[in-house]
Amino acid sequence: MTIAVGDKLPDVKLTKVTESGPEQVQASEYFAGKKVALFSVPGAFTPTCSAKHLPGFVEKASELKAKGIDEIACTAVNDAFVMGAWNKASGSEDVTMLADGNGDLAEAVGLVMDGSGFGMGKRGQRFSMVVNDGVVEQLNVEQPGQFEVSSADYMLGKL
Tally of structural domains, the chain: 1
Mean pLDDT of 97-111: 96
Residue-wise pLDDT tens digits, 141-153 = 999 888 999 999 9
Q: What is the CATH number of the domain that holds 38?
A: 3.40.30.10
Can you give the pLDDT at residue 73?
A: 97
C-alpha to C-alpha distance for 2 and 147, rounded to whole angstroms: 19
List, by residue number, the catalytic residues: 49
Domain presence at residue 3: no
Can you give the pLDDT at residue 121?
A: 66
Domain presence at residue 2: no
pLDDT, the chain, mean: 92
C-alpha to C-alpha distance for 127 and 151, rounded to whole angstroms: 8
Tell me the residue range of the domain where 119 lies: 13-158
Buried b (16+ CB within 10 A) or exposed e, 61-81: beebeeeebebbbbbbbbbbe
Domain presence at residue 6: no
* pTM, full prediction: 0.94
- Checking if the pLDDT of 10 tops 90, the result is yes
